[in-house]
């Protein structure tokens, strides 16, 4: 029985032209070989399974080839290439830094570097997982890496470039390998399947490529796993069942049901997903990806971002026609919020179901908003109809005419009229907002309202100490609802008439002054001007530095006062861990 060789080894690229998805890197390396412009050290970094070690071996084999071709590829016929292909080359040395990460291992390598190559011009040292070297090993390797012999070339490979010290990075030419695109992986899997005599559906290979997450080695390993299950025929259903991947048909079905508001179908579909053993978090994550794909299908310029087979791409294009852009935006927002708070939810199934209900309501809510904005076509077609709705300007003119005792005749029945609130067109003003608060406090009304509905106002009195004292007591009654602290503050205030139209307010501290000036000064002024016949009342606030004991208002001040008078209270607070409240 012939020994089985995994596809990742059997179909490992043997030349630069066979490397998948790293065209820019292979082109640069071939140009360096062709121009004899080789560096002393290279660093290949990137995710797993993207070809770092493979490119290092091909590069090492090519630079020692005796009969180098015009395309900078190894001939595979000379003694150097033959010894490399049979794994008996003494010029190419591989070191696993994960298991040889001590100082002694690097010192042994430094001694080995001095030996010149037997065949060819260079001795190449490939150090894989170089980030696993210890700090002492890195320091021992620095001098050799900086000034190696002319025949020595180092190729370092790592998946975690950030763990390599900067002094090593500065001595290397760095090549960043990218994740391999899904299209490239599918193309390579099709080649492997054809070479092995295996019939594979394109959608099945596409699912394998998506599961590999940009790693060619992982894709080939998954391919071997599916072949072991399915034999010579790979079907889409076998792949999603074996890899535990949720079929995209569920997402298409849920979106179609959500567009029609069919909550029952959505719930039953989600229940079927759970019965198949899929996690709710993976389901909502996949649904968000589905809406993302619908969004990129809305614009031809972003259609290239959709990674799907032609048949699935056509399904997306058909469904995206039914979806409004704002529906997709709101669906993405709903799904994203559900995914973020999924793990913190105690009833995770209900959490997902509530999000699906919101998803079903989106189309209905948007339809209602569109219906409200939609003009009445009957009114446009029949302007002479008996019943017509008035415009805002007509309502405003009607109110103005009524206030001037002028009656405007209209055919609109009184019960057909609905109150219309005219839109405020002027910009927001702090001064106007303060004036509105003042009017609300003093009982003033809008000028038009006063004209239309006249109210009885009290006559203004003369400003005297006696009348001011009476008005001050009325003002204290009006602020009873402002809170205990404010009421206490005003009770401690000593007002003084400093002139005909001038009042001086004596306060106990700066905090009281700030509170009075910012919040209550304009209220007091408006209240007094409504009571007295004055033109421009001047209210001045001042803080009195009293010689008597300071009056306490805040809880902290009261506590400090009591602690000073009764020191034992401080110990009681500390022992029982009491709060100031």
The CATH number of the domain where 439 resides is what? Answer: 3.30.300.180
* Exposed e or buried b per residue across 14-39, where buried means at least 16 C-beta atoms within 10 angstroms of its C-beta: bbbebbbbbeebbeebbebbeeeeee
Answer whether 24's CB lies under 8 Å from 50's CB: no
- Domains: count for the chain: 4
Answer whether 99's CB lies under 8 Å from 134's CB: no
Three-state SS at 92: strand
Q: What's the domain range around 147?
A: 7-176
Residue 379 in domain: no
- Residue 417 CA to residue 187 CA, distance in Å, equals 70
Residue 410 in domain: no
Answer whether 159's CB lies under 8 Å from 131's CB: yes
Q: Which tokens in the block code for residue 223?
A: 């391919």
List the CATH number of the domain containing 77. 3.40.50.300
Residue 400 in domain: no
pLDDT at 188: 93
Q: Which tokens in the block code for residue 369?
A: 């908003």
Contacting residues for 471 by C-beta, under 8 A, at least 6 apart: 527, 528, 531, 532
Whether 343 and 452 share a structural domain: no
Whether 125 and 231 share a structural domain: no
**Strand order, beta sheet including 152-158:** 92-96, 123-128, 152-158, 41-45, 173-176
Whether 456 and 528 share a structural domain: yes
Contacting residues for 482 by C-beta, under 8 A, at least 6 apart: none
CA distances from 209 to 201, 304, 388, 489, 502 (A): 13, 17, 64, 74, 85
List the CATH number of the domain containing 338. 1.20.272.10
Q: What is the pLDDT along the chain (581 residues), one digit of tens a residue?
A: 467 889 999 999 988 989 998 999 999 999 999 988 999 999 999 999 999 999 999 999 999 888 887 888 888 888 888 888 888 888 889 998 888 888 998 988 988 898 888 777 899 999 999 999 998 999 889 988 888 898 999 999 999 999 999 999 999 999 999 999 999 999 999 999 999 999 999 999 999 999 998 899 999 999 999 998 888 899 998 898 888 888 889 999 999 999 999 999 999 999 999 998 899 999 999 999 999 999 999 988 888 888 888 888 899 999 999 999 999 999 999 999 999 999 999 999 999 999 999 999 987 766 566 556 555 555 444 444 444 445 545 544 555 455 444 443 444 444 444 444 444 444 444 445 445 544 544 444 444 444 444 444 556 777 788 888 888 888 888 777 777 778 778 878 888 887 777 888 888 787 788 788 877 888 888 888 787 777 777 888 888 754 344 454 577 778 888 887 788 888 888 887 787 76
Whether 172 and 190 share a structural domain: no
Residue in the block written with tokens 């002393």: 40
Residue 402 in domain: no
Q: What is the pTM of this model?
A: 0.59
Q: What are phi and psi of 65, to 5 degrees?
A: -65, 135
Closest CA to 307 of 179, 181, 177, 222: 181
Residue 156 in domain: yes
Residue 512 in domain: yes
CA distances from 344 to 333, 354, 573 (A): 18, 15, 38
DSSP-derived secondary structure letter, 71: T
């Amino acid at each position: 029985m012939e020994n089985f060789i995994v596809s990742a080894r059997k179909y490992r690229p043997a030349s630069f032209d066979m490397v998948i998805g790293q065209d820019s890197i292979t082109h640069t390396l071939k140009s360096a070989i062709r121009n004899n412009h080789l560096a002393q050290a290279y660093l290949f970094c990137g995710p797993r399974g993207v070809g770092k070690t493979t490119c290092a071996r091909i590069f090492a084999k090519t630079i020692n080839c005796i009969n180098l071709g015009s395309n900078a590829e190894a001939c595979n016929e000379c003694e150097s290439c033959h010894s490399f292909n049979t794994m008996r080359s003494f010029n190419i040395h591989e070191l696993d830094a994960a298991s040889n990460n001590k100082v002694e291992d690097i010192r042994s390598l430094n001694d080995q570097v001095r030996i010149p190559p037997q065949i060819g011009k260079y001795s190449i040292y490939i150090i894989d997982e170089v980030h696993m070297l210890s700090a002492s090993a890195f320091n021992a390797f620095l001098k050799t890496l900086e000034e190696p012999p002319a025949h020595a070339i180092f190729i370092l490979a790592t998946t975690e470039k950030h763990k390599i010290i900067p002094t090593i990075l500065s001595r290397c030419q760095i090549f960043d390998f990218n994740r391999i695109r899904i299209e490239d992986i599918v193309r390579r899997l099709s080649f492997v399947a054809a070479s092995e005599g295996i019939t594979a559906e394109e959608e099945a290979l596409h699912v394998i490529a998506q599961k590999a997450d940009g790693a060619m080695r992982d894709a080939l390993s998954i391919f071997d796993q599916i072949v072991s299950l399915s034999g010579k025929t790979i079907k889409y259903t076998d792949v999603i069942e074996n890899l535990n991947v949720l079929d995209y048909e569920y997402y298409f079905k849920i979106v179609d049901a959500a567009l029609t508001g069919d909550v029952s179908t959505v719930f039953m579909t989600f229940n079927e997903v759970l019965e198949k053993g899929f996690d709710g978090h993976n389901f909502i994550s996949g649904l968000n990806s589905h809406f993302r794909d619908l969004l990129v299908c809305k614009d031809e310029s972003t259609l290239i971002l959709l990674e799907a087979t032609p048949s699935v791409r056509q399904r997306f294009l058909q469904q995206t026609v039914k979806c409004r852009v704002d529906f997709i935006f709101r669906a993405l927002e709903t799904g994203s919020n559900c995914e973020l708070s999924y793990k913190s939810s105690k009833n995770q199934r209900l959490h997902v179901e509530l999000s699906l209900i919101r998803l079903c309501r989106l189309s209905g809510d948007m339809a209602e908003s569109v219906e409200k904005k939609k003009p009445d076509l009957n009114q446009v077609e029949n302007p002479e109809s008996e019943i017509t709705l008035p415009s805002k300007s007509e309502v405003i003119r009607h109110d103005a005419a009524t206030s001037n005792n002028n009656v405007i005749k209209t055919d609109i029945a009184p019960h057909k009229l609905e109150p219309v609130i005219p839109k405020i067109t002027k910009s927001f003003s702090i001064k106007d907002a303060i004036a509105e608060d003042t009017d609300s406090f003093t009982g003033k009304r809008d000028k038009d309202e006063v004209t239309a509905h006249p109210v009885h106002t009290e006559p203004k009195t003369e400003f005297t100490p006696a009348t001011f004292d009476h008005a001050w007591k009325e003002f204290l009654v009006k602020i009873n609802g402002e809170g205990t602290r404010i009421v206490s503050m005003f009770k401690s205030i000593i007002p003084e008439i400093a002139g005909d139209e001038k009042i001086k307010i004596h306060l106990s501290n700066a905090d009281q002054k700030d509170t009075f000036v910012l919040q209550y000064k304009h209220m007091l002024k408006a209240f007094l001007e409504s009571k007295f016949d004055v033109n421009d009342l001047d209210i001045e606030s001042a803080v009195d530095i009293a010689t008597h004991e300071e009056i306490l208002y805040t809880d902290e001040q009261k506590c400090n006062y009591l602690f000073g008078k009764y020191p034992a209270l401080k110990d009681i607070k500390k022992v029982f861990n009491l709060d100031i409240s």
